[in-house]
Amino acid sequence: MATDMQKLIGTSEEDDDEDVEMDVKEEDDEEDDGEKRIRSSLMIGDDGGMVSSGSNNNRFEQHQVQEQVGTPGGGRRCRPVEEKERTKLRERHRRAITARILAGLRRHGNYNLRVRADINDVIAALATEAGWVVLPDGTTFPSRSQGIKAAGGGSTAITSSSSHMASQQTPSTFIRGVRCGLRSLPEYNACRMKGVFLPNSPTYDASPNARCQSSSLIGDAVEQSAGHPLISSSVDAVDGMQIVDVTPKLPERDFAGSTYIPVYVMLPLGVINMKCELVDPDGLLKQLRLLKSVNVDGVMVDCWWGIVEAHSPQEYNWNGYRGLFQMVHELKLKLQVVLSFHECGGNVGDDVCIPLPHWVAEIGRSNPDIFFTDREGRRNPECLSWGVDKERVLRGRTGLEVYFDYMRSFRVEFNDFFEDGVITTIEVGLGPCGELRFPSCPVKHGWRYPGIGEFQCYDQYLLKNLRKAAEARGHSFWARGPDNVGSYSSRPHETGFFCDGGDYDGYYGRFFLNWYSQVLVDHGDRVLYLAKLAFEGTRIVAKLSGIHWWYKTASHAAELTAGYYNPCNRDGYAAIMAMLKKHSASLNFTSAGFHMLDQREDFANSLSDPEAVVWQVTNAARDNSVEVVSENAHPFLDRVGYNKILDSAKPLADPDGRYLSSFIFHRLSPLLLERLNFMEFERFVKRMHGEAVHDLLV
């Protein structure tokens, strides 16, 4: 078992020899004539499946073993106590690795492994997934046979004897001396072997890089294939043996003839400066022409409140945006516009700083309660508190009136673009980052992933709302926030409120969380009602955030502090979707790109489940007949990432064919427009449009 385990996780030939030797030593401790058995461990041939490397290390180890054998006349050898302890520790370490692998496969891979499964069950499960046939007696063979033409003209079938599992945490992995870890498309193309049988495996993995599977050709077979015209790969020498790096190309789904899904590209954050002027119009025009050349449907752009209404209330400057919209119109592209009522800067991906309007900041200096506030009294000026929606604290206007005046000004200013059908969608900013959530995880206040965040309801206006709710319930002493919730970067089990069986599920906890989440729903309801009035006949979109960490806990603490009352015994998204349906609004859910999250060092410790979040939110939307738009949460440019988007946009197993209504690529950059990256992006656009592509391999 231990030797098989080392083969699976990928050790070198020398390490395998050493491990077998040590195991034989341990077994011989109670046997007679140790010298014969030690020699047999060093002379394992084809029957044992080992290859003697003849390295200096092995010769040194053999010399050491011979010195440890008993008297020349034979007899029982005597090993030191320290050596026995080391052997026991090594075996415990192997068993611990096996247990972690089994637990990970059960939890994340949905492998049907019995409780006391051994390494043979793991190998059989992986081989079966990779397309091999494994009989009960262990006989293993491929599901179909292929071969390669040998240099001498014969045909030799070459198969891999076992599945190798590459690490998903490191960019480059060495498996039994075979290096894998090619990351870019040119590297994949430069390292492939035609005609070699390679087992089927899932086309796309949870890693942004395809799972690397390699076959090793050793000895004479390598000598024959080294000059083979069909082989384009590197050859390494290890102790006199040659090992060929072979990275296969795996088949992809064919989306030809599938549903047409529009693709939009989000423009850079700083395309308009603080004076509302178009930055580098010539350079932008060239980039837009490139996007048009690959049949991108349109672009998305933020219209920042802090730029347009920067200096005085109800004085709007749309000049830069008009020039941009005209450029897009001339290229016959479509526009999706985001009305951004939050500040830019300080969040992931923000490369510019666009604060709230100056006159709002002045009000905030004298009345900081217009901003969200945490339990310690720290203010967050990223956006206005939802407590001022109906409070006349903004130079005689309420928060809702400020939003509506801005939306109405935009609709009047760009009426011609609405009439011509250039502007197809309006996404209304509803909170931090434009998302309908509380700003529970501000980095500037000390939050670090995967912290649970903190409740943001301690400004005087939301506290007044909480008091009214507590009095209406008949428990005025509930007019407070919970005091055992930890800090921004706490874990659920470290708090009395979010731990299993904690106060979140008590009478007060349920009251508070109901009130807190209802504040979120009510804010979205009011703003979307006004947006529907201002943009009648145009699609309205609201954006939700994918809070995936601590999803596997009972409380779902990170979702609770964000305003999504979604513990394991309650659906926290149904009320939000019902509100969107009420206003015929679509949902923009930032789910695409979650497959890259497992590269984070702290991902495994956050009890995260991004796929479950996506499933719950999208199903809640579709149950309420709400259209779903998506954008990638993390940047990527590789084919595996695009394939993940395609699979989620056009799910194969959905009998109702419920696809995304559009996809927004985040975002336009010089890196995207580099030749190879742009070719891959063009291929992605074609497949989203249901067009045929020729190279269906990854």
Count CB-CB contacts under 10 A for residue 141: 12
**Dihedral (CA of 643, 648, 653, 658) sign:** negative
| Helix-strand-coil split of the chain, %, nearest 5 | 40, 15, 45
**Nearby residues of 432 by Cβ (< 8 Å), 6 or more positions away:** 342, 347, 380, 382, 383, 438, 439
DSSP state of 605: G
Q: Take residue 583 and report the two structure tokens written for it.
A: 């206003």
**Dihedral (CA of 141, 142, 143, 146) sign:** negative
**Catalytic site includes residue 376:** no
Q: Take residue 40 and report the two structure tokens written for it.
A: 């047999």
Question: Which residues contribute to the annotated binding site?
Answer: 302, 342, 350, 543, 548, 590, 632-633, 667
Q: Take residue 398 and report the two structure tokens written for it.
A: 């309420």
Residue 335: HSE in the Cβ half-sphere, 13 Å Cα cutoff: 28
Q: How far apart are CA 499 and CA 136, in angstroms?
A: 44
Q: How far apart are CA 584 and CA 532, in angstroms?
A: 9
Question: Which residues contribute to the annotated binding site for substrate?
Answer: 302, 342, 350, 543, 548, 590, 632-633, 667
Q: How far apart are CA 582 and CA 624, in angstroms?
A: 10
What's CA 28's distance to the chain center, in Å? 50
Q: Take residue 262 and report the two structure tokens written for it.
A: 């529009």
Q: How far apart are CA 192 and CA 231, in angstroms?
A: 7
Q: Using the structure block, give the residue that is written with the tokens 């091999």.
A: 132
Determine phi and psi for 552, rounding to 5 degrees. -85, 0
Peptide bond into 567 cis (omega under 30): no
Active-site residue, selected from the candidate residues 391, 435, 454, 627: 435
Cβ-based burial of 697 (10 A; exposed 0-12, middle 13-18, buried ≥19):
middle
Count CB-CB contacts under 10 A for residue 352: 15
Q: Using the structure block, give the residue that is written with the tokens 């390669």.
A: 148
Q: How far apart are CA 682 and CA 270, in angstroms?
A: 25
**Catalytic site includes residue 435:** yes
Q: Using the structure block, give the residue that is written with the tokens 């992995």.
A: 173
Q: How far apart are CA 223 and CA 157, in angstroms?
A: 16
Inter-axis angle of helices 13-27 and 2-9, nearest 10: 170
Peptide bond into 667 cis (omega under 30): yes
Q: Take residue 292 and report the two structure tokens written for it.
A: 């048009």
Active-site residue, selected from the candidate residues 309, 627, 631, 680: 631
Q: Any idea which residues carry the catalytic annotation?
A: 435, 631
